[in-house]
Amino acid sequence: MRVPALPLLGSALIMVGVVLVLINRDFALIAATLQGLGVIALGVFLVREFLNRRRGSR
């Protein structure tokens, strides 16, 4: 079974953002950007999966 890379990437970006803020609060803007990109990646994955399942059920 193939492991989808998009949710792994999104989760990793969110976790890196959290770790950056824990290390130093001066990196908050960079961390927020990484977390935003992670949320977008997860959202894209969810929408793609939803559309694929919807198309497959017809």
For the cut 70, the answer to whether the pLDDT of residue 1 exceeds it is no
Two tokens, residue 33: 């950007």
* Domain ranges within the chain, ordered by starting residue: 5-56
Of the candidates 11, 33, 10, 9, the residue with the CA atom closest to the CA atom of residue 21: 33
Give the chain's mean pLDDT.
91
pLDDT in tens, 30-54: 999 999 999 999 999 999 999 988 8
pTM assigned to the model: 0.82
For 24, other C-beta atoms within 10 Å of its C-beta total 10
